[in-house]
Structure 1
Amino acid sequence: MVNALMNCCRVSGHRAPVPLASRATAATIADCHSDAIAGTFMRLLVKSLLAAGVLAVAAMPALASVAQASSYYEDALQRYEQKDLPGAIIQLRNALQADRSMLAAHVLMGKALLGSGDPAGAEQRFDEALRLGVNPAEVITLLGQAYIMQGKHETLLQRVTTSGLPRAQQVGVLVLRANAQAERQNIPAALASLDEARALDPDSVAVRLAQATLRQARGESALAARLVDEALLLAPEDATVWNMRGSVQQSTGDLQGAMASYAKALALAPDYLEPRVTRAGLLIDLGRVDEAERELAEIARLTQLEPRVSYMRALIATRRGDRIATKAALEEAIQLLDALPAAVLANNKQMLLLSALAHYNLGNRETASDRLNTYLRRYPGDAAGAKLLARLHLDMGRHASAAALLEPLRRRSPDDPRVLSLLAATYMQQGNYSAAVELLDQAVRTSDGAADILAELGIGLAASGRIDEAVAQLRQAWEQDRKQTRTGMVLATLYLRAGQSAQALELLDVVARNEPSNLSVLNMLGVARVAAGDPAGGRRAYEQVLAQSPANQVAILNLSALDMSEGKPDAARQRLLELLRRDEGHVQAMMEMATLEERVNRPAEAVRWLDKARGNPDAAVSAGLRLAELHLRTGAGDKALTVAREVLLRAPQNLAALGLVVRAQLSMGDRDGARQTLADMARRAADDPAANFELARLQLAAGNAADALVSLDKVLAVQPDFVPALILSAEVEIRRREFGAAEQRIRRLAEAPRGVALRLQGDLAMARGQHAAAVTAYGNALARDDSADVAVRLFRAHAAAGGLARGAEFLRAWLKNHPDNTVVLRSMGDAELQLGNLAAARAAYERILALRPDEAMVWNNLAHVAAAQNDDAATAFAERAHALRPADAAVIDTYGWLLFRQGQVERGLALLREARLRNAADPEIRYHLAAALARSGRTAEAREELAQAFRMNATFPDIEAARALQAELEKQAAGR
């Protein structure tokens, strides 16, 4: 990525190269000027003898000024030779103030301004020197460079000609003209100018390098390499030739050869900036970050005004996950770039693209877009700029604009794998995953199976729900090139999502060895270790990150999450607050603070943090959605509705916000309002497959199965092979008992991966009450997809068929091969509990909590088991569950009931009232509340709660105790 930028055009940086003869030229001009001064002085002396003494007296101040100007000039020349350009410019201004006609000062000032990145100022000085009579051969090529830097290509072609110039200057002018012609996309004229230059000087190294540059830009790498080889035979000790050789080698993928050539260039010219900059970028691409940093330090020693150094430091900081350092480096790059004259920035191809990249990576999307539009107006055929602008459009959700840029590129280069992969990304953004995968498949073929394109195909397959195929492609990309950090990270993420932590750790260990200083890798390694049940190892990885980067925000966030999972909320809070002290606007830290406070049953604090987070315009939508979710969980449907509607004011098309409005309306019993909102969502979704798929989920949540099927049919009309929609449609039809339609859907899924059709056949059999057939179908599905989901379904089928013990036996056998699968362990614990195997149930729940300490419902179930074992720890377990899920009615009920049974009647009653308010439809909660009310002397209220519980005509574990209590209360009432 780095060198795609650095090599997008092989021009020098904004500082124009100073010709090797500049020192001699300056000295010659200075000597000639001294002779002229001497002649003038002699003429003045002669006149003073013939005329009045006044003339001689009048000449003396002029002579003093000339002497003073000469002193300033000499000091400026010394500073210029020492590369102190700012000091040289100051002294030259002093010299010209003393003598406005000092020709040498004008020429040297032009050179200094050109080297300082002020081509407009340099142009003025060279023009003044020409007006004052300097020989055009002295400044014409320098003036041409000033025009090039300002993008004045037409002016150059009009004014900078070979007329009247010596042969050597003619060659230089022809090279400049070729540059201007190439910039104007007149490649034949550029090649002709270079041919003319080569005819004038057949042994010119500069001409061969210019020809090689042009050929390389046209993709003619073999011809470019041959031209560079010719130049090497002519000038084997020329650093610029070795630099060009490295560039050609790099463009053909010979990275080791390129590194050697850049090293040779630097051995010949240690202060040569270009090979150092390019070499630093290449080292970053190769993952040799420490070496890259040493190279960048050397560049910084040579020049303090190099934005490319700042940008590459940002890339290194990004790799290390150091958000603060990344932001600082990008801001420094932008500051340096913005300090350039506007004309220079607008007309320097590399710097303009770098400015766009820096703004893009800093999140300044509109500025980046403006820079790229300027860039493409300036270089309309440039693929690099078009690809980056297309990526920017994709990031901003403008898939139509991205496609408009990419389609012409595809027509021009139908086999360009990068264009194909970006165009695939536009299709994925539109939800057209099948078309995206087809393009990526073509990109893989045209790139000869390039590892990064294979990885893109894997990501596309994952997005389309084809996880097995995605993993296979990513694994192939990984085996082809184990240096691909991104591939390893994405594949490890998929493994982690699938609960395959061992495979994820295996990958991440390799990636970490490849890039030991990559802090993002270390952070993810910590995540994988925690997921694998090694929180201590995870903590070591996070602390290793902080040892290298004490302010690393990702590691701080991960450690705070680990602290929280280990029951250390105070430590987690301290870390987050420290992070917020350093960066008070850190939205993610605020979000994590909200999560923490909610877990420790401080919902008001959680609300405060989310309110603060949504004060940031960039987080107003995401934090607002979280806040609305929190209000829903805490039963504040009215507040959730208010916040969701505020989000909609900022993002009127946001389906998640509309979905929250629906859920809030349903929580408040406003079914008419929910139906209206769903109708609004349907209109906004139109024919967008992704939007309709989300709409179908929400319609199901609202109980509108028929409307959900309509939405899913819209998805399938656009993407008939979209597996998730087919699956959900079949599930809905099974729920609606439309078994014939479900069977048709299942047949369409016969070729779907992972035994999906077999699993749905099991679901269909279960719905029909054919439990034995369901056992068979799930068993066949399990042979294709040995997943926790299918295993749990098979267990439930056994239980429904009257074989709870047999189902439990199956789960025990399955867990021998998957001992850390928390989903199946949960079912195992529940099964053992139903079978009365309390010790086995407790062991299963405790194993889950060792792996996932934040599973609130497991703590809740463990509390039930401990209570059945008469273990006083039950209340502590229930308290932990309540801390994790303070708004869950079932958890509140468990905690309140255990407190009540311990004799803490008042505290238990308060909790049970809250549980009843959160879920009045649970008869067991009503019974528990009735018992607490009866103990507190509120018998009338207790009788009403029991009456409501029995009106539900539902069974619950304590139903006999509830009947006994009801009889006792009725007896008491009758006795009065």
Structure 2
Amino acid sequence: MFKYFSALDGRPKKLGIAVAAVLIASLMISACDEAENSDDFLTRAQEYRDKGDLQASIIEAKNALRINRDNQDARFILGSNYLDLGDWLSAETTLETAIGQGGTLEYAIIPLLARAKLSVGKLHDVLKIAGVRSDMSDDLRARIMVVRGRAHSGLKNHTEANKSFNDALAADPKAFGAFLGLAGLSIASDDRAKGKELLDKAIAIAPENIDVLEFQARFHFLKKDFAETEKFYRALIAQRPTRVAFHAGLINALISSKNYKGAISNLKPLLARSPKNIQLNYLRALAAFRSGDFITAYNTSSTVLGVYKRHTQSMLIAGASAFAKKEYEQAAQYLQQYVQANPSHNEAKMLLSEVQLRQNRVSEATKTLESAAKDQPDNVNLLLAIGRASNMAGDLQKSGDYFQKAVKLNPENTRARAALGASQIALGQTDLGIEELKRAVEKDTDLARAEIALILNLAGQKRYDEALEAVERLQERHPERALGYTVEGLLQFSKGDPASAKVAFRRALQLKPDAADAAANLAAVAIVSKKPEEAKEVLLAVLKHRPKHTRLLMMFAEVQLQLNDSDGAIRTFEKMLEANPEDLRPRQILAQLLLSTGRVEKAYLLAKSAPLIHQNNPGILEILGQAQTRLGKFKDANETLKALATVKPKSVHARFLLAGSYGALADWSSAEREFEAAWSIDQKHMPSKMGLADVLLRQNKLKKASEIISDLSAEATDSPQVRVMQGRLALLQGKPEEAIKPLSEAHKVIGSPTLTSLLAMAQMRAKGRGTGLETLRNWLKKNPNDVRIRFQLANNHMLFSQFEEASKEFLTLHEMQPENWIFLNNLADSLNRMDKFEQALPFAKKAYKLAPTQPAVLDTYGVILLADGDNKRAAKILTAARRRAPNSPEISFNAARALERVGNIDAARSILEEILPKNNSFRSRKAAEKLLKKLGG
């Protein structure tokens, strides 16, 4: 028999003993806990808190809660500890649970919970929970009004904030917190004198109060008196060493005074104790960013956002750090979130617009800048940025208008003049533009960018003599700098003189051997001149000085690829990753290179091991999904490509890949949905349309498939792939004669096993088996090792009862794959059909050894044993086959034959009486009827 099944063997695990052991252990622990009651732990928690040992207090409070989950006092202490440690999220969660219990501590909890919510920026929540009630004491009412005032202040509701603080003073004239709040409002409105006056009132009431001292520290910070700020915070830390906010204030002062090492040194022990603390991680990110360590800044700010997604300051650092690392997609994501939360922060909008420009999202960048300009219409930097964006969008007139306005607002701004000059040149006002650039250079001889713009624009006008004069002036002003010679090289190259360009670039490298721009351009000239070896030498020389320079290494790897040195290019990319594991671009290119050179497992591991911050990067997801597909990890590939389609929902390529992954899982309806989604995005995307036609055919949706294939035929008249679709459609419509022509035409262009199989099938159905078998044989003459086609040929011989030919093909397949039980089984079956059971027996026996549970193998082996006269063993084997395939009438009949041979007449008759009424047509039905009659049935 030549049908087969796959089976999975699962073994139940015995877990009873392990579960019992855990239950016993838990009972023992519970018994131990009851030795001390909740009050004992609570007493120690308060004692530790009074001593300032907040971590120990937390442990004891948790122990109290473990015994009594409803202990409100324990939650109150626990929440207070979290608040003092700066773990605001834990404080908020704990105190919310505590206040939900009602009880006598409710009023004491409200100010603390409000403070926790203030710290995480939930200002509206503060106004909901912190309400004044008639039965509150004057002191409590004042404290509640103070936190309400702080919430209003944070929401920029200064009138309401002012009212709340004054209401607090009305309730309690000594409410120093209200004076601090009013002082903050005055400072925010630029009235520092009034702020100082109100602060002094708070100092007079409570000179030693922690909050008053902290406000003084902040006031000194605002005045940029960082030494005094540091002094106040060190004094506060001496009083309350566990109060994280005081440590944070000190560290912020150190960062602001550019003492980054001191800030990081102070942060290390704090982060070791509280690795997920939002405030501390934010400050670590800030210190890293200010000191130029953008990788740490990005990673640490991402850690903060992983804990608390709405921490806007970390959004800004993450976005700015990603921009510095040239990871523009991540930068745009974080900066957009920040700008949405802080719509009046124009500096952030300018940075976001720069990211958008780098992503070529010019219209979005222009809108971002114009929204900023509404608040600051006379901001020259904003006007210059809008002009630049408009220029990139191709709106030269608009660009020029903005530059002109910037120059009018600030005539001495040389950057504005340089930009205006460049725009005038672009608008065709060449002479005006060049004169404007000259004026900019005259006013600022260090304005190298304007000089370069002048030189390049003169070159663009083919005014090479003037351009060279400008270059000479630049070189005279800065004889020690490589810049002038690099620009000369660019100018000479634009003149069409690569030899002089090379001389200039080499002069630049003599002055500065590590001049990356000069080296890159010199290498580029060599590449254009089709001298990659020369480019390689240039880059190797400069890389000795700058071994970790990303752009040079990238260029060097590209040269190696031009020299067909893919192994060398891979090593170069690996060096880049080793130097900077967070750098996305070399990881992405290397993974793609590994994939294209057949090193799929390595590509998979590289993409899979991408840092967390890159794991949703579209390029990484695409490579990972393709690698998983090629490794046969179809479910994993599908999950990966679903993530890609989520990140890029409007990408036709992402949708196309996702559809293909559903196809690999044979989930045709989902594949159809995704191919349709891809096609709806871009109706000119032929692969999506082809994929859609394919899955429609697989689902036998012939009407819809016919419409799509008709469109494809009109759009791609000569496409062999479309011809294949036409042939498949005709076959499914029961028109094999119409399938032959398109399949034959396609087969001439893209001969493949699949197409050969289809063509042979069509020919057999339309013209008889001879033509189809000949097609298969002709393919095998050219491709003798094609297992799939040889297997199809052998099976067709079996179907046509050509057992001699079938046995020859199965024997060849067996020789190609000696351990393949399917080939062994079918070889034995074909030999047995010719009554060559003695030759068949060894093959059947080996198939049985390799696949002892497969019904087809058991059936073949049992039938041959029966023919060999081993009736007892045959009966045992065939009865087992029937148990595994009870719905096969052929196997059941063979089992009945064997049982009859060993004298088990009743069992044989029972089987035959069962299968004959259920199966009107099977190969051995007549023989089964005859046997039943013989057995008296």
Taking structure 2 as the reference length, the TM-score comes to 0.42
Task: Answer 1 or 2: higher relative contact order, Cα 8 Å, separation at least 6.
Answer: 1
